[in-house]
């Protein structure tokens, strides 16, 4: 039994290490970076709900005077408001 438990722990450890090997630590933002004013289109932005019945997409992001506004589109008409 001890050998079986050892190999279980070893295999889980190796699985964790290999899954984290692709992660890279990015430099923390300093807060001094600024995005120029304009309208941007995200390359990929698509989120689906837990039931899979609704998807949320972002068609454009507007940056103006250090404020950011994202235009989100819900595929379901049942969402009339979203609190963030």
**16-62 per-position pLDDT tens digit:** 565 555 555 555 566 667 778 889 988 877 777 667 777 888 888 89
Taking the C-alpha atoms of residue 38 and residue 51, their distance in angstroms, rounded to an integer, is 35
- How much is the pTM? 0.49
What are 8's strand-pairing partners? none
Is 60 exceeded by the pLDDT of residue 75? Answer: yes
Each domain of the chain, given as residue ranges in start order, spans 35-84
Task: Supply the pLDDT for residue 18.
Answer: 57
C-alpha torsion sign, points 68, 74, 79, 84: negative
**58-68 per-position pLDDT tens digit:** 888 899 888 88
């Amino acid at each position: 039994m001890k050998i079986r438990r050892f190999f279980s722990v070893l295999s889980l450890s190796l699985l964790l290490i290999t899954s984290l090997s692709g992660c890279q630590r990015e430099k923390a933002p300093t807060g001094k970076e600024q995005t120029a004013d304009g309208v941007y289109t995200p390359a990929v932005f698509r989120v689906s709900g837990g039931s899979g019945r609704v998807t949320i997409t972002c068609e454009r992001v507007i940056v103006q005077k250090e404020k950011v506004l994202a235009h989100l589109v819900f595929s379901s008409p049942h969402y009339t408001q979203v609190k963030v």
